[in-house]
Amino acid sequence: WLLQQQVVTITMWKQVPSLTLGSNGVKIPMLGLGTWKSKPGEVAAAVASALACGYRHIDAAFLYGNEKEVGQGIKEKIADGTVKREEIFVTSKLWNCFHSTNQVLVNLKKSLENLGLEYLDLYLIHWPTGFQENGLDGVYYPKDASGKTLYSNIDYLETWTMMEKAQEMGLVKAIGVSNFNKSQLERLLAVARIPPVNNQFESHPYLINKKLIQFCQSKNVSVTAYSPLGSPDRPWAKPSDPQLTEEPKIKAIANKYGKTPAQVIIRFQIQRNVIVIPKSVTKSRIEENINIWDFKLNDGDMSTIESFDCHGRVCHSSEVSDHPLYPFNDEY
């Protein structure tokens, strides 16, 4: 049974296509496990399950507060011989309280310590918006007496110089950004010595983000879609909010291929050449989400899914919308 399980795992891993990041040859698997909202006590087992069934891409972040457990899941599957470190692509993200040049490496090294790793495969600036810097004191959203978030005036161009240094030091293999709009990415590309190779942002059928995806890809910046299923378990969701996996037209497409709505939505992103990182802590769902390589959506299916676009952003961070570098005031 163990031999059979190993063969299945290897086969599934080999099926997951990769994209090459920029010009440095680093390859990122197009499907990964997201860990935002995965609770300590659950996420280590989720990561272990993902690696056991063929995932080779794990997406993490300092702010999620669960990097130690993510690292435990990775360590477990390396220790039992399921996978080698060099076969796993691990992403983490620099939080807003560490944007100054003397704090970037502090936050990066803390993430490496949490994860139990010597290097990251990809490190992203989580948001272009800098906050007042007292992050390692455990205050990641510093606020004044009235409850308003305290900002810093640090420009992400300054932050980027240390991201470049981190790559040159070998602490990370590739660097990129997250939640950057077109203008912000364009501005960074104009001055970067090492260009960003990835922009991770929200994308799902309610928020196609087609223009930003096309712009990034035209600049040789790969795209990772977070919340690809619309993040139905987000803490601020209302019972009346629509659910992508319950949409009749998406369910009809799923029935046609003998797949689930979630598998159809994930496949939709893959066919747009977009990396996708669905989150789950349920073993059966984790296995289901990677089982998408035996069918292909036709043009009509793709158009039907695109027709749900209503600019339905669910991760808007509107509480900091007055930040000078808030990314979602622009069209895209």
Residue 143 has phi, psi (to 5 degrees) of -130, 155
Alpha carbons 51 and 37: distance in angstroms, whole number: 19
DSSP annotation of 103:
T
What does DSSP assign to residue 169?
T
> In sequence order, what are the beta bridge partners of 18?
29
CA distances 121 to 29, 45, 57, 286, Å, are 11, 22, 10, 22
Q: In terms of C-beta density within 10 A (0-12 exposed, 13-18 middle, 19 or more buried), how is residue 238 classed?
A: exposed
Is-contact 182 215, C-beta < 8 A? yes
The neighbouring-strand residues paired with 131 are 151
Question: How distant, in Å, are the alpha carbons of 233, 235, 236, 278, 320 from that of 239?
Answer: 11, 11, 10, 21, 25
DSSP state letters, 64-87? GS-HHHHHHHHHHHHHTTS--GGG
- Strand ranges for the chain from DSSP E: 18-21, 26-29, 33-34, 57-59, 89-94, 122-125, 175-178, 198-202, 222-226, 275-276
64 is catalytic: yes
* Phi-psi map region of 326: left, alpha, beta (phi>0 left; psi -120 to 50 alpha): beta
Please indicate if the annotation marks 126 as binding a ligand.
yes
State residue 63 phi and psi, 5-degree precision. -65, -25
Q: Of the listed 64, 151, 226, 326, which one is catalytic?
A: 64
Question: Which positions are annotated as active-site residues?
Answer: 64
- Annotated binding-site residues for substrate read 126
